[in-house]
């Protein structure tokens, strides 16, 4: 990911689910409006050219929620039903 | 760009409460967790390790590529890379990659530092990124050069040779020096500029063969050269375009006097590459066009020349689903615009005209067994030998003008 830090200077930690995960596909297509293969291809280019990092992959929504709530500066996505008080939700509109 | 969209989302974090974004059947939300106080990170939190391993098989009807491919096929094609990066803070990165490669005659087991750099961002906010890289950096050239050794990032086992020539690979790979970059992100797309100065790799036999067609007693050595690329990208890479160029300085210093050696030679090679790409669903379309000018000056002017060649390819990828894709490509290379089919070259040098051009129809399939494991197969029908690797084909009179390649490869990444 190209944006590296929050406004307070702390590093951004991006979490995503695996390429074929239905929530990942839905988030890519409907929120980011890109196809998952475009994300994968951009991340591969960053990693293997030495110019950037790819997001950290978590296997499930439970693990996503756990990772977000326990990692400072973390950002990710979840289905609405997975929300609880351990994480804070924001919207893109 | 997805990063742009994320950044827009992120920039509103302070004003947002609990909102839900509704789209079709899905309810999706973004989550964040902002540290309220400085916290020490474990070292392991800031280190990433990645790698890949590819094994290929090449079978040719005649002419050789990556070993003795014309006699029952060759397995002399292996690519393996291991890379590590360390981010001590958000603006500072260290990254390096070791590459092991088997690629036919003269490359039985190459082990090299592919890149090794420190990257510092001077300015980093949602709209703008400005920074510099020092050390050994990958040359920003066209759409595929920086990750040309990673099968996951290239469309076919054999990249379009019109732009990504195997025979001058080492010169194109990476350079030792510095590079500055600037990125400007807007609603209408992202602009990225990279400008570098460095000494390219390629102080070896491949370079001498590519430049002079033969192994001479003296030394062929790249000198300080310059590279630049302007890229534009929008909608997360749905539309991509780039203009890249190099000013590449290569010198030959003889060991002996004429006639036992060449004179001292200075070669300036200036390729200019135009790249466009559309990434849709289910089709991706890519085209790259290059002009390639070579200006050679030599002591005594006996080898002087100024030749401009050109090359291009058109490529379509059709994705049947997330796992299967089909690819078709037409690829063409002409060494000399003024002597497209090499007739003048043949009259002058007595070497075959077909060494001066090559067209290549490629058809391939790829299957992703998992996100980390793929299999690719492809067929090439080639007319001409302009990009054949020299070391696999030492005798020019053995070459066939029309030939075919079948290739099979599997690759793993983590």
CA B403, CA B383: separation in Å to the nearest integer?
7
- Does the distance separating the beta carbons of A91 and B30 come in below 8 Å? yes
Contact A20, B322 (CB under 8 A): yes
CA B363, CA B7: separation in Å to the nearest integer?
39
Domain-embedded: residue B392: yes
Q: Supply the CATH number for residue B189's domain.
A: 2.40.160.10
CA B319, CA A37: separation in Å to the nearest integer?
10
Instruction: Select from A10, A26, A32 the Cβ nearest to the Cβ of B26.
Output: A26
Kindly list the residues from chain B whose CB atom is less than 8 angstroms away from the CB atom of residue A93.
Answer: 19, 21
Q: How many domains does chain B have?
A: 1
pLDDT confidence band for A8 (50 / 70 / 90): confident
Q: Where are the domains of chain A?
A: 13-82
Long-range contacts of residues B364-367, Cβ cutoff 8 Å, at least 24 apart: B364/B155, B364/B156, B364/B157, B364/B326, B364/B327, B365/B324, B365/B325, B365/B326, B365/B327, B366/B324, B366/B325, B366/B327, B367/B323, B367/B324
CA B149, CA B167: separation in Å to the nearest integer?
14
In angstroms, how far is the first alpha carbon of chain B from the final one? Answer: 24
- Looking at the predicted structure, is the pLDDT value of residue B298 above 70? yes
Kindly list the residues from chain A whose CB atom is less than 8 angstroms away from the CB atom of residue B39.
Answer: 72
Kindly list the residues from chain A whose CB atom is less than 8 angstroms away from the CB atom of residue B32.
Answer: 68, 74-75, 87-88, 90
Pick the range with the lowest mean pLDDT from A78-82, B53-57, B144-148, B150-154: A78-82
Contact B274, B230 (CB under 8 A): no
Tens-digit pLDDT profile for residues B124-134: 998 999 999 99
Of the candidates B215, B196, B193, B195, which has an alpha carbon nearest to the alpha carbon of residue B204?
A: B215
**Rounded mean pLDDT of B284-309?**
96
pLDDT at position B21, please?
41
Task: Supply the pTM of this predicted model.
Answer: 0.89
pLDDT at position B27, please?
47
ipTM: 0.90
Half-sphere exposure of B319 (CA within 13 A, CB side): 16
Provide the residue range defining the domain that includes B376: 2-36+77-413
Instruction: Select from A41, A53, A77 the Cβ nearest to the Cβ of B30.
Output: A77
Interface test with A, best of B30, B113, B192 (most A CBs within 10 A): B30
Domain-embedded: residue B271: yes
Contact B108, B102 (CB under 8 A): yes
| Chain A / chain B CB contacts < 8 angstroms | 218
Domain-embedded: residue B54: no
Contacts with B149 (C-beta within 8 Å, 6 or more apart), sequence order: B79, B81, B99, B101, B114
Domain-embedded: residue B44: no
Domain-embedded: residue B281: yes
Tens-digit pLDDT profile for residues B217-256: 999 999 999 999 999 999 989 999 999 999 999 999 999 9
Domain-embedded: residue B61: no
The residues that bridge with B100 in the sheet, in sequence order, are B80, B111
- Does the distance separating the beta carbons of B371 and A19 come in below 8 Å? yes
- Looking at the predicted structure, is the pLDDT value of residue B414 above 80? yes
């Amino acid at each position: 990911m190209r944006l590296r830090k929050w406004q307070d200077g702390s590093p951004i930690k991006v979490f995503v689910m695996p390429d074929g995960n239905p929530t990942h596909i839905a988030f890519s297509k409907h929120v980011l409006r890109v196809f998952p293969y475009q994300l994968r291809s951009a991340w591969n280019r960053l990693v293997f050219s030495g110019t950037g990092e790819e997001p950290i992959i978590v296997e499930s929504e439970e693990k996503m929620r756990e990772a977000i709530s326990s990692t400072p500066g973390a950002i990710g996505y979840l289905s609405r039903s997975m929300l609880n008080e351990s994480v804070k939700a924001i919207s893109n509109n | 760009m997805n990063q742009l969209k994320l950044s827009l989302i992120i920039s509103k974090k302070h004003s947002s409460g609990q909102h839900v974004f509704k789209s079709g059947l899905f309810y999706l939300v973004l989550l964040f967790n902002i540290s309220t106080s400085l916290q020490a990170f474990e070292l392991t939190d800031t280190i990433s390790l990645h790698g890949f391993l590819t094994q290929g098989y090449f079978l040719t009807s005649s002419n050789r590529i990556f070993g003795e491919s014309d006699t029952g096929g060759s397995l002399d094609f292996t690519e393996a890379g291991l890379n590590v990066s360390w981010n001590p803070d958000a603006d500072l990165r260290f990254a390096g990659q070791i590459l092991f490669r088997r690629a036919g005659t003269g490359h039985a087991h190459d082990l090299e530092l592919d890149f090794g750099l420190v990257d510092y961002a001077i300015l980093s906010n949602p709209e703008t990124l400005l920074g510099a890289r020092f050390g050994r950096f990958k040359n920003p050239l066209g759409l595929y050069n920086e990750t040309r050794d990673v099968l996951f990032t290239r469309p076919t086992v054999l990249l379009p040779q019109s732009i990504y020539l195997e025979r001058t690979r080492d010169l194109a790979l990476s350079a030792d020096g510095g590079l500055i970059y600037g990125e400007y992100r807007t609603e209408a797309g992202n602009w990225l500029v990279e400008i570098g100065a460095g000494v390219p790799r390629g102080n070896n036999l491949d370079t001498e063969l590519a430049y002079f067609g033969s192994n001479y007693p003296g030394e062929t050595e790249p000198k300080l050269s310059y590279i630049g690329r302007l890229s534009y990208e929008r909608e997360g890479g749905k539309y991509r375009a780039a203009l890249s160029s190099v000013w590449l300085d290569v010198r030959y210093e003889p060991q002996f006097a004429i006639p036992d050696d060449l004179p001292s030679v200075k070669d300036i090679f200036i390729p200019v590459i135009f790249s466009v790409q559309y990434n849709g669903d289910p089709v991706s379309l890519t085209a790259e066009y290059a002009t390639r000018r070579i200006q050679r000056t030599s002591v005594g002017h006996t080898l002087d020349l100024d030749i401009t060649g050109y090359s291009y390819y058109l490529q379509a990828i059709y994705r049947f689903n997330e796992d299967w894709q089909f690819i078709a490509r037409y690829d063409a290379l002409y060494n000399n615009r003024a002597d497209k089919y090499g007739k003048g070259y043949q009259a002058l040098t007595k070497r075959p005209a077909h060494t001066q051009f090559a067209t290549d129809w490629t058809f391939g399939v790829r299957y992703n067994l998992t996100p980390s494991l793929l299999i690719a197969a492809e067929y090439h029908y080639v007319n001409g030998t302009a990009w054949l690797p020299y070391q696999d084909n030492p005798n020019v009179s053995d070459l066939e003008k029309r030939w075919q390649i079948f290739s099979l490869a599997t690759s793993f990444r983590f």
